[in-house]
Amino acid sequence: MKLSFRWYGEDDPVKIEYIRQIPAMHSIVTAVYDVPVGEVWSVESIERLKKITEDNGLHFDVIESVPVHEDIKLGLPSRDAYIENYKENIRRLGAAGVKVICYNFMPIFDWTRTQLDYELPDKSTALVYFKEQLEKMDPLTGELSLPGWDASYTKEGMKALFDQYKDVDEEKLFENLEYFLKAIIPVAEESGVKMAIHPDDPPYSIFGLPRIITGEKNLDRFLKLVDSEYNGLTFCTGSFGSANANDVLAMVDKYSKMGRIHFMHVRNVKLYPDDSFEESAHYSPCGSLDIVAILKALHKNGFDGYLRPDHGRMIWGETGRPGYGLHDRALGASYMTGIWETLTKLDK
């Protein structure tokens, strides 16, 4: 297991030198953030990120993410030009030593939460998703914005995009994903870069839009679209764990045994009966997921990919990007490092 940490570049309130101080830290997970979705990243931008990372004693081998343009998800005629750009990004990142690219295929919106500063009983704050709050939100007003969402859309642009998705159901979205994969995976193989799709977060439809990377049945279908080790998963325990229908532990065991998990996002959630959830501390008793059992399954199956502590609470007065403070993610990293060390020593 290679421990990694998400870093949003030089504008991130979390300094990269602080990340280096977390015991056992191996890799920085980052991306080029100043290029419009669908365009080619410059070699200079990639090399600058690589230099900053390596100057701080860390590895530059995981990118999260190279966003997929909406025209690809919609299956529009213009998708081929954007796919060619995507292929070139894979080549350039592979040449820079990147081993894994995380991406997602969620229509319009990335991960979605209804509140960013929900106060937990210990007075820390966390990201939450409450269905009753979502039902009161309207993404077409132009007033709704959450972390991870593309903020470049105008009110009119958002409405036009929703209109385009009226003709795209889950089956059509799968067809468009297959078209994309069949184009890029051969390039990934040639470049030595493993593609790792992130699950939909949460793993069910929101605002009437289709979502397909949601659970075991759809993952099985996804992996067969292009049956290559370079077509794999970013397995996010919190995303899959946000639906009562998913047996997260069984899924981790299954797909790590198959060698198709290239990147683990590990976080805990307190799950409600209606699939609403609170994000919690990584420590197993704080949420609905058994982090010890999840890591035990990975260890048993010889997982040697990348793992990062995912969203954390805001604790100890820290401010900044909700879910991406330093302190709680560092605690999560150390907690998981301790579990992994124990499992390794028990094997000897």
- Residue 230 clears pLDDT 60, i.e. is over it: yes
pLDDT surpassing 90 at residue 298: yes
User: Is there a contact between 203 and 240 (Cβ–Cβ < 8 Å)?
Assistant: yes
Q: Residue 141 has what pLDDT?
A: 76
The set of residues, in sequence order, having a beta carbon less than 8 Å from that of 82 and lying 6+ positions away, is 38, 69, 71, 72
pLDDT at 142: 58
Is pLDDT above 90 for 215?
A: yes
pTM higher than 0.85, yes or no?
A: yes
User: Is the separation of the CB atoms in 187 and 228 below 8 Å?
Assistant: no
Shortest CA distance to 258 belongs to which of 226, 290, 289, 303? 303
**Tens digits of residue pLDDT in 251-263:** 999 999 999 999 9
- Going by C-beta distance under 8 Å and a sequence separation of 6 or more, which residues neighbour residue 193? 90, 93, 94, 98, 99, 100, 101, 230
Q: What mean pLDDT is reported for the chain?
A: 94
What's the pLDDT score for residue 263?
98
- Strand ranges inside 206-246, DSSP E: 231-236
- Number of domains composing the chain: 1
194 touches 100 (CB < 8 A): yes
Distance CA 131, CA 108 (A): 19
Alpha carbon distance 306, 234 (integer Å): 9
Range of the domain at 119: 2-347
Q: Could you report the per-residue pLDDT of 21-44, keeping only the tens digit for each?
A: 999 999 999 999 999 999 999 999
Hey, which residues are catalytic here?
198, 236, 265, 310-311, 324
> What's 137's domain CATH number?
3.20.20.150
pLDDT > 60? residue 147 = no
The torsion angles phi and psi of 317, rounded to 5 degrees, stand at 80, 10
Mean pLDDT of 76-83: 97
d(CA 195, CA 92): 14
